[in-house]
Homo-oligomer: A and B are copies of this chain.
Amino acid sequence: MKYSKQREMIQDTVMAHPIHPTADDVYSLVRAKNPTISLGTVYRNLNLLAENGILTKLTMPGGSDRFDGRLDEHYHMLCTHCGKVYDVELDIFRDFDRQIRAKTGFCVSRHQLLIEGICKECSKEK
């Protein structure tokens, strides 16, 4: 992968903002430093970085994809009230893949878990 200033900025932005930004969030953030960057470039590079395992693409129900710079095994909770995405570490998946393989012959490459509910802050509000 050939170096580009734009890609560096995009990657840095995702890393620096652990808010699981959408492509459009990244676009706004990067645009503050580089007003001529295009949305197409942001999409192209986010996908490129995801394909190369440098960041992760999260598929969201009913909304835009989000991107995550954390590479260690963890999962996500979406608050259906405020829309924030939280990280969660759980050791439930320790020998998950082995169990599945033994049971079904399915060879797991990755898994995405999305937990939906109401976060602590939002449930306080009521």
**Residues in chain B near residue A116, CB distance under 8 A:** 108-112
Assuming A61-B112, A112-B114, A114-B111, is B106 touching A120 (CB within 8 A)? Answer: yes
Q: Confirm or deny: A90 has a beta carbon within 8 angstroms of a beta carbon on chain B.
A: yes
- The CA of A118 and the CA of B104, in the complex, are separated in Å by 11
How many monomers of this protein are in the complex?
2
Are A62 and B59 within 8 A (Cβ)?
yes
Are A104 and B90 within 8 A (Cβ)?
no
Mark interface residues in A88-115 (1 if CB within 8 Å of B CB, else 0): 1010110010011001111111111111
Q: Which residues of A contact B (CB under 8 A)?
A: 57, 59-62, 77, 79-80, 86, 88, 90, 92-93, 96, 99-100, 103-120, 123
